[in-house]
Structure formats: C-alpha cells, structure tokens
Homo-oligomer: A and B are copies of this chain.
C-alpha cells in the first residue's frame, strides 16, 4: 500500500457520488415530492475541513432536490452537480477543461451508474457495501459503508498523505457542519 499512499499524495480532485456514499442508500420520499436523506456528521466535518485546506471536492449526483443541494453548499463545496444523467461526460469535461491528470483523480461511487467514471479515473474507491461490480473495479474498498464514514475515511487518508490532516479544527466546527440557517 506504500504505492497507494504515494498516489494519494498526488491527488488533484476527489469526486463523490451521493446516494450510497454520503448515505447508506436510504431514501425517504415525502408527500411533497422531495426526498430526505440521512447524512453523517463526521463525513461532513471532513469535507468542510478538506475544502478549507484547498483540496478540491466535486459532487456528481443523479439526484436532485432542495435538501440535497443545500447540504453541500453548507459544507462549503463549490462544485456540486445534481440531476446528472451522464456522469462520465460531465467528469471528462471537467478534467479536460481544467487540465487535470485523470490518473490523479479519485472517484468514490457505490453502484452501476458510477462504473463508467470509476473506470475513467486513476483511483476508483468505494464503500464497504458497494455493488459487486463496483467493488471489483475499486483500487480501495473502505471498511466503512455508505453513510457510515466511508467519505471521512478516504478524505482522512488523502489529507494524511498530503500532511494536511491537522490536530486542530482549523476553524471548522460542527457549527459549520450541522447548524440550521
């Protein structure tokens, strides 16, 4: 894994799917047509912290809805794309437009619609409870499931590899992560 750690140092962007990654895949439809989802405070903390450290976080989700979008605004994520039908085309556009080396891009997904992106990037990773096909193509399978800390796990490893995982809170408090507006 020394090799893997070296790759983590070079990571230029971390791309995340939402359902099944930031959540356990649980979807609670409401009568008004919106969905509610249960996120994890520790995942949220690590995302807000990484953003503050200047690590590039990109969200690409097929889902949409008010609560989904506000969640990532809240965490300070500037690049969050929702209601995406074709994830690969979007990801490729971002990579080519910004001159990223796709070998240094991490993509964390959990199900079939993520497979194309996972085959495209250099470092596909997934939660412990990802679909079989996703686990098969992943370079790293977190020991944490979706919504159980898999996002935190990956971000911590990258920040540690880059020497950015600090012992202080860098001004990122739970007030950033879990307060109402």
Binds B, one of A8-16, A95-103, A111-119: A111-119
Give A100 Cβ to nearest chain B Cβ, in Å: 23
Residues of B within 8 A of A122 (CB): none
Measured CA separation A180–B30 after assembly (Å): 9
Interface class of chain A by DSSP: loop
Q: Does A104 contact B (CB under 8 A)?
A: no
Verify A25–B40 contact, CB threshold 8 A.
Answer: yes
Give A143 Cβ to nearest chain B Cβ, in Å: 13
Q: Does A77 contact B (CB under 8 A)?
A: no
Number of copies: 4
Give A70 Cβ to nearest chain B Cβ, in Å: 6
Residues of B within 8 A of A94 (CB): none
- The 0/1 profile, CB within 8 Å of B marked 1, for residues 3-46 of chain A is 00000000000000111100101111111111111111110110
Give A96 Cβ to nearest chain B Cβ, in Å: 22
Verify A20–B41 contact, CB threshold 8 A.
Answer: yes
Point out the residue from B29, B37, B74 that lies within 8 Å of A67, measured CB to CB: B29
Point out the residue from B34, B41, B84, B179 that lies within 8 Å of A25, measured CB to CB: B41
Give A36 Cβ to nearest chain B Cβ, in Å: 6
Measured CA separation A64–B174 after assembly (Å): 10
A-B contact pairs, 25 of them (CB 8 A): A17-B174, A18-B174, A19-B41, A25-B42, A26-B38, A26-B39, A26-B41, A26-B147, A28-B37, A31-B34, A31-B67, A35-B178, A41-B111, A45-B111, A61-B174, A62-B178, A63-B178, A65-B179, A65-B180, A66-B180, A84-B173, A85-B175, A113-B173, A115-B169, A116-B168
